[in-house]
Structure 1
Amino acid sequence: MGDQVSRVIMAEVDRLDLPAPRRVAVLDDHDGSLLLAAAERWPDAELALCCDDLADERDGRAQAEQAGLRIEVDRDLDQAARGAQLCLARLPKSLDALDDLAATVARHAAAEVVLLASGRVKHLTRSMNTTLERHFGEVRGSLGLGKARALVAAAPRPDGPEPEPRRAAVAGLEVVAYGGVFAGAALDPGTRLLLAQADRFPTAATAIDLGCGTGLIACTLARDLPDATVIGIDSSLAAVRSAQATAAANGLAERIDVRRSDGLTEVGDHAVDLIVCNPPFHRGTAKDSSTALTMITDAARVLRPGGELWLVYNTHLPYRSTLRAMIGRTELITQDQGYLVTRSRRPD
């Protein structure tokens, strides 16, 4: 049943000997294993699934359909947690994301709720316990199972502190960051290098900030290209919420269309003049370049003839050959010790 991270949660359920819950919320299940384990253990319970990442949500939905399960899929964490007696979660790597999760469960779940959140031991820190203690009266660690452990939280404090988004002035814009959105309210080194080239971005009728995070690039595009239609795309709920808030904070909410989507899959062929992207090379805590490579492949489809893809990525990643093969002529624009920026242009 699943990996060690999901198995340690179910092992702890056995130790706790909890009464059968009427509603179980499964949060950020990466592969559907927590969802399937909950369905097997409590076949009469309502099951609600909420995942920050769209790929995880789709995986969970597919697992449920294959198993013939009826589940509720929510895109609001508070709705998923509402009335739940038990919440099962994978620990997010960000303390801010954990703070949001814990506060939401404490405010919206049942008074008797137990939150079981697990992760790899190497990723667990004492700060996670401290974060949970802001919202629960009882917090402890489980016994380990292989390389995984769970944190167990009970006695919720619904009147505890409400997490506030982080705000900062960055590159002449106000950035608003919720939960575990990439880089928070800071300017990461790759985006800094990319935005330093913003005055070289071409004029565009339609421009996309792909993997938009807090929306800093999208807001830069909307500010510098006043006649462009600007779209921000990310698969993360926290990122979409952050980008929408960043756009609003800078008076650009009407200029930027922020979408939760799986990359460019919902964008039509030959529909875009400019794509600017700082692609991920992790999924969760694991290194994974497949998302970035998919982004490059999809960019080739959606760019108009003469359209450009501006990409920033770590210097050690071998993307240039793929860019040349999929997009067209690719040139190095700038480089520092850790990152490089390339421009790839579709043939006219």
Structure 2
Amino acid sequence: MTPDEVLALLRREPDVEAPDLVAVDATDRLLLDTARETAPDLSRQRVVVVDDAYGALTLGAVAAGARDVRVHQDLLVGEQALARNAARTGLAGAYGSGPLTAELFDGATLVLAKAPKALDALRELTELAAAAADPAVTVLVGGRVKHMTHGMNDVLGAGFTEVSASLARQKSRLLVARGPRPGVRSSFPRCRHDDALGLDVCAHGAAFAGTRVDDGTRLLVAALEGAAPEARTALDLGCGTGVLAAVLARSRPDLTVTATDQSAAAVASARATLARAGLDRVRVLRDDAAATLPDAGTDLVVCNPPFHLGAAVVTAAADRLFTAAARVLRPGGELWAVWNNRLPHRAALRRVVGPTRTAAHDRRFTVTVSTRR
């Protein structure tokens, strides 16, 4: 099949659907077209793909002739979608997946990446690529024009001697980096002490909020002192950097705590945070909506759900986590969740989990307690 034929078959599943969310976007197509212009014979390139949403970059490159393709996707649902799309297009086994490490970039001659929202995520990619890729590597970073910033040029410029921007096409643009600077090394994970929590928070580049503790999490932490006092098992669902799991495990030594997140960066960050706090007894899993945990086996779930999918503000991601919480909670178990006041989560919590009351609130956030029916 041609690259266009492959792209036409791609789907988002098992990810959620929402208006204006697609499996292949204009940035994917611009990256692939520019890759073929940069390296007409992709079969001779060592290609690394970073944060391919649903497989368009990976499978498009393979369909265009690439034979050595390594992929890192931060989100587990992206890995699952890529695997399903590879099977759908007959390209299963045509690529290898791995963690975001120097080994991923070892000897790479062409890097294709979707521009991350966080500059630190781009910084971690830049440092790893500059340290390990082939000296002749070309790095292509693509995104929507409205989300591309001059700060991205500066970040790439810290790792590469040449950085330029492409012309815009269909509201997308690329940054092109060449010439790795000598002596660049990864500075991640980074850790910072939070005085209010008495905790070192560690984060890889793509982890939400980085080493900062967001205000919603602080409000939930303050409310957790009286949460499910008889609980013996707890789950930090969508754990991010592991702050909630650390607070629970530190304050309640008899509580068995598990932390899950579908983000590879979050899982690595949470492990680093917990290790720094001497809380290695907390189990940290990369898992999509607690899919590998048993039904009705948890007494307490804490959750600070996301409210963005890409650039869109939607409730679907939170609803999936609420549904997961309802499944893993035993009858009478409690879900403690924090969410932005402008989101209509209360009705969903009542419908999906059970009776819901407010435990705390401020001008931006609400903490609710939902009891499993």
Q: What range is the shorter-chain TM-score in?
A: over 0.9
Give how far 1:82 is off: 2.1
| SS of aligned partner of 2:136 | coil
For residue 329 of structure 2, what is the amino acid of its counterpart? L
Deviates more, 1:160-169 or 1:51-60: 160-169
Q: Percent identity?
A: 42
What is the identity, as a one-letter code, of the residue corresponding to 1:243? Answer: A
Letter matched to residue 163 of structure 1:
S
Over 3 Å counting, the alpha-carbon distance change for 1:162 and 1:50 in structure 2 is closer
Q: Secondary structure at the match of 1:305?
A: strand
Q: Return the offset for 1:116.
A: 0.6
Cα contact 1:117–1:152 (8 A) shared by 2: yes
* Matched ranges for 1:36-47 at <5 A: 36-43=59-66, 45-47=67-69
Structure 1 portions without partners, runs of 5+: none
Tell me which residue corresponds to 2:335: 309
1:76 deviation in Å? 3.6
Deviation at 1:111? 2.1
Deviations 1:256-280 (A, max 9, x none): 1111110111110111000000000
Q: Which aligned pairs between 1:1-348 and structure 2 lie closer than 5 A?
A: 1=7, 2-17=24-39, 19-20=41-42, 21-43=44-66, 45-69=67-91, 70-170=94-194, 171-203=197-229, 204-253=231-280, 255-347=281-373
Offset at 1:78? 2.9
The 3 A distance-change label for structure 1 pair 17 and 48 is: closer
- For 1:56 and 1:315, how far apart are their aligned partners in 2? 29
Please tell me the root mean square deviation across aligned C-alpha atoms, in Å. 1.5
- Give the 3-state SS of the residue equivalent to 1:97 in structure 2: helix
- Opposite residue 274 of structure 1, the aligned amino acid is L
* 8 Å contact from structure 2 (residues 41, 65) kept in 1: no
TM-score relative to the length of structure 1: 0.95
CA displacement 1:301-329 (0-9 Å, x = unmatched) = 11012110000001111111111122111
Query: Aligned partners of 1:111 and 1:42: how far apart in 2?
Result: 22
SS in 2 for 1:343: strand
For the 8 Å contact 2:128–2:185, the answer to whether it is kept is no
Deviation (angstroms), 1:346? 1.5
Instruction: State the shift of 1:168 in Å.
Output: 2.2
- Give, in whole Å, the separation in 2 of the partners of 1:226 and 1:266: 24
Task: Give the CA deviation at 1:34.
Answer: 1.0
Residue 218 of structure 1: how far off its partner (Å) = 0.3
Q: In 1, Cα distance between the equivalents of 2:291 and 2:149?
A: 37
TM-score, normalised via structure 2 length: 0.89
Contact 1:108-1:158 within 8 A present in 2 as well = no
Per-residue deviation, 1:121: 0.6
Gaps of 5+ in 2: 1-6, 8-23
- The structure 1 segments of at least 4 consecutive aligned residues displaced by more than 6 Å after TM superposition are none
Q: Do the aligned partners of 1:135 and 1:161 also contact (CA within 8 Å) in 2?
A: no
Further displaced range: 54-63 or 239-248: 54-63
